[in-house]
């Protein structure tokens, strides 16, 4: 049942508990408890809103930074990751397989903000060997949702 | 001037709901719950395979009965999902939708005067397809008290020495009714006893919500007297691709192939390539869509209770079929008044046979959001009716 609950919430975290209980054929109280339990277990880690900032007046730049590091004694990848993700500007940190170690996704107001973070904060970390910064030009799809898409029901009324 | 028309064609009644839908399409604020096709788009990987086939210039006819690899996939699918065994090259015919299969099945099987048993309410094409071949349609009125299943008693009562074919339309539009193995076994016994044939329209076979669909052809003794009709429209949301198929004994399929090759040549090539991909890699899409339909179905059943519309719980397709007889109106009047008063379009049950009187069909091939808005309006409408239709 948990997977069904999660799938539904992942698509729409604002769905009403009552509707959800009906659609999943669950008792409303049991459902509320299950969700609370999953919050406790850090399976559900938050209820964020997917915003297309490009359509607002807010200036924002997003950068994807490839980071290579050398893990040092007593300080594995997890510890280095923590040193990176503790910064507020950092949106996401992933440990990667392949050509580099971490993907860091960063949001700043301007390119200068991002540049200053990379040079002053990120590169300054002892374990960091190198960085490669890529700026996002346009977001088309995020979290499984096409941002610009407007869905129109084009089905014609049909006799069956 | 001489009358250019055939008497048989003139006998066929035009679909009554056409007029109704014309009115709906003129109303911008109307919420239609009338459409009988999935709201999902064809999954991208399937569409992409269609596009790829065009890029590779696969723009020719396929062999008459369909692409060899598609027929293989169809046979494998029927085995994997419903434990049916068909020879891919001899017992499968790829058609332009399940609807072509229905038409040519009737043409291949019926002699003038042969009676065809058609349980109703059901899909609108069985009757005219029978009439056009000179067959005689014999409706069997399904009962709400039996969850609109066909019972052996009803079947027995309709059989005459002229009866040749039973059409078995389950999972059913418009009722959403399904037949489980036990129900089918009783029917099968009567069929075998009376040496009849079955045309089993299983187009909604992937959309059952209380366990896997059972095909009557899987009951011992039935495969040799059954045509199984299925297709891609409902299960893979591929209505516009116009692709279906029929599987059955070679001696019927080969004759149907003859008709098919003279009137159709072959089903659309692009669609056939896309369908191969659907059968190979589409199971997850089907499961996902079914889950979403089921959630909406539960929501509607709940809403019906809240609103105070009596409705038996259907476990198939994507329709509910509430009973509106307590308002003392015909289905037509109810649907028209609902459209006028609250701008919600539902289909009168009578569109699917006279015995649909007293019911309307609501499709849940719509987003939850649309369904919720519609249920609010229907709720208001029912309250207004119950209050004796006060003037506002």
| DSSP state letter for A26 | -
Structure tokens at A159: 């006799």
Burial class (CB in 10 A: 0-12, 13-18, 19+), B142: buried
Check CB contact under 8 Å for A160 and B302.
no
8 Å CB contact between B186 and B152:
yes
User: Measured between beta carbons, which residues in chain A are less than 8 angstroms from residue B345?
Assistant: 157
Structure tokens at B144: 């709400």
- Asked whether residue B143 falls in the same domain as residue B292, the answer is no
Q: Which residues contact B254 (CB under 8 A, 6 or more apart)?
A: B90
> Does residue B210 belong to the interface with chain A, where contact is any CB pair within 8 Å?
no
User: Measured between beta carbons, which residues in chain A are less than 8 angstroms from residue B351?
Assistant: 159
Nearest beta carbon to residue A157 from set B32, B295, B368: B32
Q: What is the pLDDT of residue B48?
A: 97
Check CB contact under 8 Å for B32 and A4.
no
In a domain, A82, yes or no: yes
CA distance A64 to chain B (A): 28
pLDDT per position as a tens digit, A46-102: 999 999 888 899 889 999 999 999 987 777 899 999 999 999 899 999 999 999 999
Structure tokens at B292: 């979403």
In a domain, A158, yes or no: no
- Asked whether residue A31 falls in the same domain as residue A69, the answer is no
Radius of gyration of chain A (CA): 21
SS3 A14: coil
SS3 B162: coil
DSSP H or E stretch at residue B165: strand B163-168
Of B229, B259, B281, which residue constitutes the final position of a domain?
B281
Measured distance CA(A127)–CA(A67) in Å, rounded: 10
Check CB contact under 8 Å for A157 and B302.
no
- Asked whether residue A81 falls in the same domain as residue A127, the answer is yes
Of B221, B253, B281, which residue constitutes the final position of a domain?
B281
Measured distance CA(B125)–CA(B244) in Å, rounded: 15
Total beta-carbon pairs less than 8 A apart between chain A and chain B: 43
**CB environment B18-52: b (16+ within 10 A), e (fewer):** eebbeebeeeeebbbbbbbbbbeebbeebeebbee
Check CB contact under 8 Å for A22 and B34.
no
In a domain, A57, yes or no: yes
In a domain, B104, yes or no: yes
> How many folded domains does chain A comprise?
2
Query: pLDDT 10s per residue in chain B (392 long)?
Result: 999 999 999 988 887 677 788 888 888 889 999 888 999 999 999 999 999 999 999 999 999 999 999 999 999 999 999 999 999 999 999 999 999 999 999 999 999 999 999 999 999 999 999 999 999 999 999 999 999 999 999 999 999 999 999 999 999 999 999 999 999 999 999 999 999 999 999 999 999 999 999 999 999 999 999 999 999 999 999 999 999 999 999 999 999 999 999 999 999 999 999 999 999 999 999 999 999 999 999 999 999 999 999 999 999 999 999 999 999 999 999 999 999 999 999 999 999 999 999 999 999 999 999 999 999 999 999 999 999 999 87
> Does residue B82 belong to the interface with chain A, where contact is any CB pair within 8 Å?
no
- Asked whether residue B197 falls in the same domain as residue B241, the answer is yes
CATH code for position B348: 3.90.1150.10
Structure tokens at B36: 């009988």
The rounded Cα B22 to chain-centroid distance in angstroms is 22
- Asked whether residue B109 falls in the same domain as residue B254, the answer is yes
CA distance B43 to chain A (A): 14
> Does residue B315 belong to the interface with chain A, where contact is any CB pair within 8 Å?
no
CA distance A27 to chain B (A): 13
Q: What is the pLDDT of residue B31?
A: 93
Q: What is the pLDDT of residue A159?
A: 62
Q: What is the pLDDT of residue A158?
A: 67
User: Measured between beta carbons, which residues in chain A are less than 8 angstroms from residue B295?
Assistant: 8, 23-24
Check CB contact under 8 Å for A157 and B34.
yes
In a domain, A152, yes or no: no
Check CB contact under 8 Å for B37 and A155.
yes
**On the CB side of B320, how many CA atoms lie within 13 Å of its CA?**
25
Segments forming the whole domain that contains residue B192: 58-281
Q: What is the per-residue DSSP string for B64-109? A: TT--HHHHHHHHHHHHHHH-----TTTSEEEESHHHHHHHHHHHHH
- Asked whether residue A132 falls in the same domain as residue A69, the answer is yes
Q: What angle do CA B261, B265, B266 make, to 5 degrees?
A: 110
- Asked whether residue B274 falls in the same domain as residue B146, the answer is yes
Q: Which residue of A has its CA nearest to B22?
A: A157
Q: What is the pLDDT of residue B250?
A: 98
Measured distance CA(B288)–CA(A3) in Å, rounded: 13
Nearest Cα neighbor of B189 from B159, B146, B210 is: B159
CA distance A157 to chain B (A): 6
Q: Which residues contact A36 (CB under 8 A, 6 or more apart)?
A: none
Measured distance CA(B258)–CA(B263) in Å, rounded: 9
In a domain, B51, yes or no: no
- Asked whether residue A73 falls in the same domain as residue A112, the answer is yes
Radius of gyration of chain B (CA): 21
Give the confidence band of A155 by pLDDT, cuts at 50, 70, 90. Answer: confident
pLDDT per position as a tens digit, A87-96: 989 999 999 9
> Does residue B24 belong to the interface with chain A, where contact is any CB pair within 8 Å?
yes
Measured distance CA(B300)–CA(B307) in Å, rounded: 10
User: Measured between beta carbons, which residues in chain A are less than 8 angstroms from residue B34?
Assistant: 157
- Asked whether residue A25 falls in the same domain as residue A75, the answer is no
Percent of chain A with pLDDT over 70: 98
- Asked whether residue A36 falls in the same domain as residue A60, the answer is no
In a domain, A117, yes or no: yes
Please give the backbone phi and psi of residue B360, each rounded to the nearest 5 degrees, phi first.
-130, 155
Q: Which residue of A has its CA nearest to B17?
A: A159
8 Å CB contact between B290 and B277:
no
Nearest beta carbon to residue A155 from set B15, B35, B368: B35
Q: Which residues contact B279 (CB under 8 A, 6 or more apart)?
A: B70, B73, B74, B76, B77
- Asked whether residue B168 falls in the same domain as residue B29, the answer is no
SS3 A154: coil
Check CB contact under 8 Å for B124 and A22.
no
Measured distance CA(B133)–CA(B128) in Å, rounded: 9
Segments forming the whole domain that contains residue A16: 2-40
Q: Which residue of A has its CA nearest to B31?
A: A153
- Asked whether residue A75 falls in the same domain as residue A126, the answer is yes
Place of tokens 């649907």: B335
In a domain, B49, yes or no: no
> Does residue B32 belong to the interface with chain A, where contact is any CB pair within 8 Å?
yes
Burial class (CB in 10 A: 0-12, 13-18, 19+), A142: exposed
CATH code for position B235: 3.40.640.10
Nearest Cα neighbor of B41 from A153, A22, A7 is: A153
Q: What is the pLDDT of residue A148?
A: 82
Please report the ipTM that was assigned to this predicted complex.
0.79
Measured distance CA(A108)–CA(A63) in Å, rounded: 8
Helix axes A2-11, A17-24, angle to 10 degrees: 130
> Does residue B37 belong to the interface with chain A, where contact is any CB pair within 8 Å?
yes
Check CB contact under 8 Å for A157 and B299.
no
- Asked whether residue B157 falls in the same domain as residue B297, the answer is no
- Asked whether residue A59 falls in the same domain as residue A132, the answer is yes
> How many folded domains does chain B comprise?
2
Q: Count Cβ atoms below 10 Å from residue B310 Cβ, excluding itself.
A: 13
Of B281, B309, B335, which residue constitutes the final position of a domain?
B281
- Asked whether residue B75 falls in the same domain as residue B217, the answer is yes
Q: What is the pLDDT of residue A160?
A: 60
In a domain, A91, yes or no: yes
Place of tokens 């016994």: B189
In a domain, A88, yes or no: yes
CA distance A71 to chain B (A): 41
């Amino acid at each position: 049942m948990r997977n069904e609950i999660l799938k539904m919430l992942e698509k729409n975290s604002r769905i009403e508990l009552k509707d959800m209980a009906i659609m999943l054929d669950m008792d409303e109280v049991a459902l509320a408890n299950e969700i609370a339990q999953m919050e406790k277990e850090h399976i559900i880690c938050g209820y964020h809103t997917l915003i297309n900032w490009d359509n607002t007046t807010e200036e924002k730049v997003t950068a994807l930074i490839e980071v290579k590091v050398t893990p040092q004694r007593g300080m594995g990848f997890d510890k280095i990751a923590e040193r990176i993700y503790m910064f507020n500007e950092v949106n996401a940190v992933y440990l990667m397989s392949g050509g580099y170690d971490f993907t860091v996704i960063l949001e700043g107001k301007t390119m200068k903000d991002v540049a200053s973070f990379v040079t002053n904060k990120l590169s300054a970390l002892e374990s960091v060997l190198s960085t490669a910064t890529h700026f996002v030009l346009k977001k088309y799809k995020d979290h499984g949702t096409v941002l610009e898409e407007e869905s129109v029901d084009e089905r014609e009324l049909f006799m069956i | 001037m001489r009358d250019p028309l055939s008497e048989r064609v003139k006998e066929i009644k035009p679909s009554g709901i056409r007029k109704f839908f014309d009115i709906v399409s003129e109303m911008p604020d109307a919420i239609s719950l009338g459409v009988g096709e999935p709201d999902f788009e064809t999954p991208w990987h399937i569409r992409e395979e269609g596009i790829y086939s065009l890029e590779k210039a696969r723009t020719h006819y396929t062999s008459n009965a369909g692409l060899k690899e598609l027929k293989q996939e169809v046979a494998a699918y029927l085995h994997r999902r419903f434990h049916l065994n068909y020879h891919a090259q001899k017992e499968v015919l790829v058609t332009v939708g399940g609807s072509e299969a229905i038409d040519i099945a009737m043409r291949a099987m019926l002699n003038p005067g042969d009676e065809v048993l058609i349980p109703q309410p059901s899909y609108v094409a069985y009757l005219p397809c029978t009439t056009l071949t000179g067959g005689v349609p014999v409706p069997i009125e399904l009962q709400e008290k039996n969850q609109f299943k066909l019972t052996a008693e009803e079947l027995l009562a309709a059989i005459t020495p002229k009866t040749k074919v039973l059409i078995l339309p389950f999972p059913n539009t418009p009722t959403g009714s399904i037949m489980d193995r036990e129900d089918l076994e009783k029917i099968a016994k009567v069929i075998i006893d009376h040496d009849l044939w079955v045309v089993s329209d299983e187009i909604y076979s992937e959309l059952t919500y209380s366990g896997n669909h059972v095909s009557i052809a899987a009951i011992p003794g039935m495969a040799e007297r059954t045509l199984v009709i299925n297709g891609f429209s409902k299960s893979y949301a591929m209505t516009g691709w116009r692709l279906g198929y029929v599987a059955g004994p070679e001696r019927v399929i080969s004759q149907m192939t003859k008709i098919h090759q003279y009137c159709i040549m072959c089903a659309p090539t692009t669609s056939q390539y896309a369908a191969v991909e659907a059968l190979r890699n589409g199971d997850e899409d089907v499961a996902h869509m079914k889950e979403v339909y089921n959630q909406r179905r539960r929501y509607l059943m709940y809403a019906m209770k809240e609103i105070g519309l009596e409705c038996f719980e259907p476990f198939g397709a994507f329709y509910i079929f509430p009973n509106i007889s307590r308002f003392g109106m015909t289905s037509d009047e109810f649907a028209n008044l609902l459209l006028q008063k609250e701008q919600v379009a539902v289909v009168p049950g009578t569109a699917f046979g006279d015995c649909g009187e007293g019911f309307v069909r609501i499709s849940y091939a719509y987003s939850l959001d649309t369904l919720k808005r519609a249920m609010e309006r229907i709720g208001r409408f029912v309250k207004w009716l119950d209050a004796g239709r006060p003037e506002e």
